[in-house]
Structure 1
Amino acid sequence: MPNKIKPIAIYLPQFHPIPENDAWWGKGFTEWTNVVKAKPRFEGHYQPHLPADLGFYDLRLEEARLAQEQVAKAYGIHGFCYYHYWFNGKRLLHEPLDRKLKNPKEDLPFMMCWANENWTRRWDGEENEVLMHQEYNFEDDKIHFEFLCKTYFDDERYIKHEGKPVFLVYRPKLFKDINKTLEIWRSIARKEGIGEMHLGYMQSWGVTEDPLNMGFDFAVEFQPNFPKTKKNKKTVFKRVLAKIFKSINLQKREIEKEIDRVFDYSEFVEIQKRKIFKKNVSPCLIPMWDNSSRRKKNAFIFTNSTPELYGSWLNYIINNFPWNINKEKFLFINAWNEWAEGNHLEPCQKWGRKYLEITKENLIGNEK
C-alpha cells in the first residue's frame, strides 16, 4: 500500500542560540558553528556541507520555519519528528516547536521523540563530558507526561495513528523499568483527556528487542545501522570495522591516534537491501552521513553518497517493506537537517534539491 506511506523526516531544533550553549561553547553557538569549520580530511571528501536555498537559518524566526515546511510539503514529506529534550523538568531547544504551536500558519504535521540521554559535549565530539545528567524516576515520568499532554498532544497538527498521538523514546534501555514508565504514561494520557497513546522507540545503540515485550506499540529503525544477515549472525558492523582497520593505510588518515571510520555508502545500501524487515518496526533510511564537522577524531563518514543511491534504497523500502502487515505507514528519513552529521534532505550547495526530488519521484512513482 505505498500510496498510504507517510514519510516522516527527523528534525533537529538546534539552530538557534540558547543560554546553556552560550555558557558551554561560547556566545551565539549553534550547530552552524561546527558546520562552517569542517574541512575535507582526504581526497574527494565532501566537506563542508553548506546550506543552499534555506541558508544559515535561525529557528526562532517564523520565516525560517515556514520556509522549511513549504519545502517539505512540496516534496512529499508528511511531517517532522522533533527531538525533545527534557531533564527532570528542564527543557532545552524547545523554542522552535513552542513557537510553531502558537502559529497556525505552520501547519505541517509533527510528532516528537524524547532524546533521553545525558547532554554531553557531543556537539564537538567529546561525549564523555556530561553537561546535564538525565535522571529517571516514576515521579518525573508522571510530571513529564502531564506536561506533554497539556502542551502538545491535543494540538490538531500532532501526528496520530488511528487517533492516538505518536510519541517516541530514543533510548528505552536507560529507564529503570520502561514497562512501568509506559504504563504511567498511558494512564496519565487517559486522565488528561488525550485518550490512548501510540508509543514507540528508536532501535539504536544495539537495541532491537520486540517493542511489544517492552510495552511499546511499535519501533523505528534508526539509521545508520549495520544489521545482522541471514547468512552471518555476526553483525555486519563488526565485520566492517575489521575491514576498515585492516585497510587503514588506504584511508591515509590518523587524527591524534584515533581513526576516522570510513565506509562506502553504495555498499551500505546493498547491505540494507539484504536485511530482514520485522513486524511492528517502521523502516528508516539516511540520505548521507558524515559527522566529521562535530568530531575532531573518530568520525564516522560515508563516502560516495549520491541522490541516485539514496533513491534506490528508498525505492527498495517502498516496494519490499510489508506495508500490508505493519499497521503503521510511517517511513522515517534521518534526517531533515542534521547538518553537523552531514545528513540532511534540506538543499545543500553540492546537491541542491536533488535528494528532495528523488524522494518525491519515488513516492509518486510507486503510488498505486
Structure 2
Amino acid sequence: MMQQMTENSENNQEERAHSATALSRSLAETLVDQAKFPFRTFFAHLELALMRGIERLNFLSTKRQAKLRRQIAKRAPERFLAVTDHVETLQKSSGNQESTRPEFIPYEPDLDVPITDVRAVAFYLPQFHPFHENDLWWGKGFTEWTNVGKAQPLFTNHYQPHCPIHLGYYDLRISEVMVEQARIARQYAIGGFAYHFYWFGGKTLMERPLLSMLANPDVDMPFFLSWANENWTRRWDGRDSSVLIQQSHSTEDSRSMLRHIAEYMHDPRYIKIDGRPVFSVYRPRSIPDLAATVDIWREEARIQGLGDLYLIGIQRDPEEDHRPDGFDANLEFVPHGLSQTDISAAIELKSRSFSGKVYDYKAAVQIALDQSDLDINRYRSVMLGWDNTARSVNRAHIHVNFSIESYHHWLSELCRRARADKWRTPGERMVFINAWNEWAEGTHLEPDQRYGFAYLDATRRAVLGGD
C-alpha cells in the first residue's frame, strides 16, 4: 500500500509538473501566433526556465528526473538558436523549390559493382503491392504509393511530395522490379538488404515479395530478415490504440517462426557472420521472457541445420544493450535514439492544426556522430531526410535542411568507425541505412525527381572512402 501511495504521489507530482509545462507552452504558442521569431525565442526560454525550476525542486523519482534533464538538454537556448539559424535561411529563400534544388545526378549505367571492405545494408520495406488485409483496412488497391502521391508541403520549401523515377510507382508483384532494384543497389555499393519481416502469431503479412525474391536467383543481393515485431495500428506507430493486427508471443510461436524463416536462412544469398545466419529484432523488449525465447531460437536453428544464429537487437535509445538477453550485438535505428530539438516554433506553418515536430537534419547528423558506442557492440545507422508527412500529415515528424553533403559526411564517418572498431571481425564491418524504399517516411535511396541518383552516388562514394 505504501508503495502504491508513493507511486500515486509521484504521478500526481509529475502531472502537476507536466500541467505547468503544458500551460507555459500553450501560452507561448498563443502569443507566438501573433509574433515574430524573437518573441518565439523568448517563450522557448520561459519554458526552459520553468523546467529547470522543476528539476531543482528534486521531487521526482530518479528515472523521471533523468528524463526531465534530457528534455532540458533538448531545449537549451544555444542548441535551439543554433539549429534555427539554418531554418531562418531556409524560410527567407524563395518559395520556388527550383531555386534551392540540389544538383540532380542521373543514372550511370556503366558503373562497375565495387568490392568493399564495409558492407552497407539498407532496410527494405516489402509493402508496395496490394494485399487482402490492406484492402480491408484502407480500401481496395491501397499501397504506400497512395499516401506518397497525395502528400503536400506544410511550409515554404518543404520537400513534398517525393516522386520516384527509374522504376516509377512500381508494384512488387512484378518480379523484374526486385531484380532491377538489386542490380542498381549493387552498382552503388549497397552490400545487402535487411528485409522487414512481418510475423503475427503464425500469420505473415507482405511476404509475397520476399517469397518471390527467394524463388528468383536473379535478385542478386545478399539479405537477411529483420522481424518488425510490433502491432499494426491505424496511426502507423505500432502503439496499442486502434490495433489492426496484434503480436502474440508464446513458446510454440517462437519455434514456429524460426521454422518458417529457416528456408530463407538456407538460401546462399542469406547474410552470415562467421557462418552464423543474421536475424534482427525491432522491439526485443516487447517479447515476454526474452532470454528464454532467444534460447528457443538458437535451439531450433540447430535443429533446422543452420548452426548458431547471429542475433541483433535494435535499440530504442543509445544505451540500450540487448546482449544480456542473449543477443550478439545491438543496432542503432535512426531517428530513434537521437535527442533532437524541436524547432517547429521557428517554422511558418501553413496549418494551425500541425501537432508534429520539425528537426534540423544537419544538427541530427552532429548529434548522432557525437554519441559514444559505450562499448556495447553497436552497429550504427544513417538516414536520408526522414519526413513522414505522407503518412501522418499534420502529426508528421519532419527533418529540414537535408543535404547530400551532410548525408555523405555521416555515412563516411560511420564507415571509418566500422573499419576501426576493435570488437568487429571482418564480417561484422557493417553499417546500416534507413532505408532503401521508405517513401512514406521520406527516407529512401531509390532515386526521385528532385535528387535523381544523388543519394546512391553519395552512398557509393562514402562506402568506397571517396569525397
Give yes or no for the alignment of 1:222 onto 2:333.
yes
Show structure 1 runs of 4+ deviating over 6 A: 124-127
The aligned residue for residue 163 of structure 2 is 50
Give yes or no for the alignment of 1:290 onto 2:390.
no
Structure 2 residue identity aligned to 1:340 = A
Cα offset for 1:253? 3.0
Structure 1 residue identity aligned to 2:361 = Y
Q: Which blocks of at least 5 consecutive residues in structure 1 are unaligned?
A: 228-235
Answer whether contact 1:286 1:335 (CA < 8 A) is retained: yes
Alignment counterpart, residue 319 of structure 1, candidates 401, 416, 423: 416
In 1, the alpha carbon distance for the partners of 2:153 and 2:239 equals 20
In 2, the alpha carbon distance for the partners of 1:366 and 1:49 equals 28
The aligned residue for residue 304 of structure 1 is 401
Q: Which blocks of at least 5 consecutive residues in structure 2 are unaligned?
A: 1-114
Answer whether contact 1:166 1:197 (CA < 8 A) is retained: yes
- Could you list the per-position Cα deviations for residues 213-265 of structure 1 after superposition, in whole angstroms to 9, with x for gaps in the alignment? 111001110001344xxxxxxxx34xx14xx3xx62x3233857452211111
Give yes or no for the alignment of 1:273 onto 2:369.
yes
Q: How many matched pairs?
A: 349
Cα offset for 1:202? 0.9
The change in CA–CA distance for 1:219 and 1:125 in structure 2 (over 3 A counts) is closer
Give yes or no for the alignment of 1:100 onto 2:213.
yes
Cα offset for 1:35? 0.1
- Could you list the per-position Cα deviations for residues 151-182 of structure 1 after superposition, in whole angstroms to 9, with x for gaps in the alignment? 21111111100111000000011111111000
Give yes or no for the alignment of 1:187 onto 2:299.
yes
In 2, the alpha carbon distance for the partners of 1:254 and 1:201 equals 40
User: In angstroms, what is the RMSD of aligned CA positions?
Assistant: 2.1
In 2, the alpha carbon distance for the partners of 1:93 and 1:256 equals 36
Q: Of the two structures, which has the highest relative contact order with CA contacts closer than 8 Å and spacing of 6 or more?
A: 1
The change in CA–CA distance for 1:270 and 1:207 in structure 2 (over 3 A counts) is closer
Structure 1 window deviating more from structure 2 (137-146 vs 126-135): it is 126-135
Structure 2 residue identity aligned to 1:209 = E
Answer whether contact 2:251 2:293 (CA < 8 A) is retained: yes
In 1, the alpha carbon distance for the partners of 2:235 and 2:194 equals 20
In 2, the alpha carbon distance for the partners of 1:123 and 1:58 equals 21
How do 1:1-368 and structure 2 match up within 5 A?
Answer: 3-123=116-236, 128-149=241-262, 151-204=263-316, 206=317, 208-227=319-338, 236-237=339-340, 240-241=341-342, 244=343, 248=345, 250-253=346-349, 257-278=353-374, 279-321=376-418, 322-327=420-425, 328-365=428-465
Structure 1 window deviating more from structure 2 (139-148 vs 121-130): it is 121-130
The change in CA–CA distance for 1:207 and 1:171 in structure 2 (over 3 A counts) is farther
Task: State TM-score, norm by structure 1.
Answer: 0.90
Q: Which structure dedicates a bigger proportion of its chain to strand?
A: 1
In 2, the alpha carbon distance for the partners of 1:126 and 1:313 equals 30
In 2, the alpha carbon distance for the partners of 1:198 and 1:52 equals 36
Structure 1 window deviating more from structure 2 (356-365 vs 324-333): it is 324-333
The change in CA–CA distance for 1:168 and 1:115 in structure 2 (over 3 A counts) is same
